[in-house]
Amino acid sequence: MIRLWHVAQSRSFRVLWALEEIGAPYELIACSFFDRSLRAPEHLARAPAGRVPAIEIEGQSLCESGAILLYLAERLAPALRIPETAPERAAFLQGLHYAETLGAHLANLTQHHIVLREEAMRSPTVMRLEARRLENALGAIGPDWVAGRFTVADIALGYAVWLAQRFVPVPHAAQAYLGQAAARPAFARAMARDGAAELYLRDFYPPPEG
């Protein structure tokens, strides 16, 4: 049995979506950023940074979403990866890791808009700069799957684009890309299991004027 520790609206959604694509049975363990459960010793043994996702599969524990996506594809769903010798392999790896570039901007925006609750703690300059960087980075996404067919790289990127629309206007090609991703039945099933919103309580968080 696969066990996934998950917080709604977090990066663990990528793994939840992948498990729905694969169709393997799994146990979803709902966690929260606000009850200190992620700082409990048993969770820190799975995820030393005290974050999600964390997953147990085949006796292995993993806690980096990109690594989990690739491991799941290698072990359970070869159709969701590109083989090492295929010419599309470079695009696959580029897409899988480009999601982390988007994720860095998204993490900074989340920190400033949501985690730093007091306005005096926030930097309007950083918020404007990160929004601009994110919007520019989204220009490289879409409208087609990054490696010519749907893979776990598109799960990683699709989640990033889905979250990016909370902070910036999404370019047309990236909107089309997200539309394809959101139309997948597994995406809808994952959304249904995601859980109640904890982080993003507004549809849009604009950068401060300046």
The DSSP-derived string for 18-73 is HHHHHT--EEEEE--SSSSGGGSHHHHHH-TTS-S-EEEETTEEE--HHHHHHHHH
| Angle of CA points 126, 36, 204, to nearest 5° | 35
Q: Which two tokens stand for residue 97?
A: 């890791």
3-class secondary-structure state, position 170: coil
What domains appear along the chain, each with residue ranges and CATH number? 2-80 (3.40.30.10), 89-193 (1.20.1050.10)
pLDDT (tens place) for every residue of the chain, 210 residues total: 999 999 999 999 999 999 999 999 999 999 999 898 999 999 999 999 999 999 999 889 999 999 999 999 999 999 999 999 999 999 999 999 999 999 999 999 999 999 998 989 999 999 999 999 999 999 999 999 999 999 999 999 999 999 999 999 999 999 999 999 999 999 999 999 999 998 999 999 999 987
Cis check: omega of the bond before 143, within 30 degrees of 0 = yes
3-class secondary-structure state, position 81: coil
Q: What Rg, from alpha-carbon coordinates, does the chain have?
A: 17
Match 């070869």 to its residue by tokens.
78
What pTM, to 2 d.p., does this model score?
0.97
SS3 string, 123-185, reads CHHHHHHHHHHHHHHHCCCCCCCCCCCCCHHHHHHHHHHHHHCCCCCCCHHHHHHHHHHHCCH
CA distance 190 to 90: 28
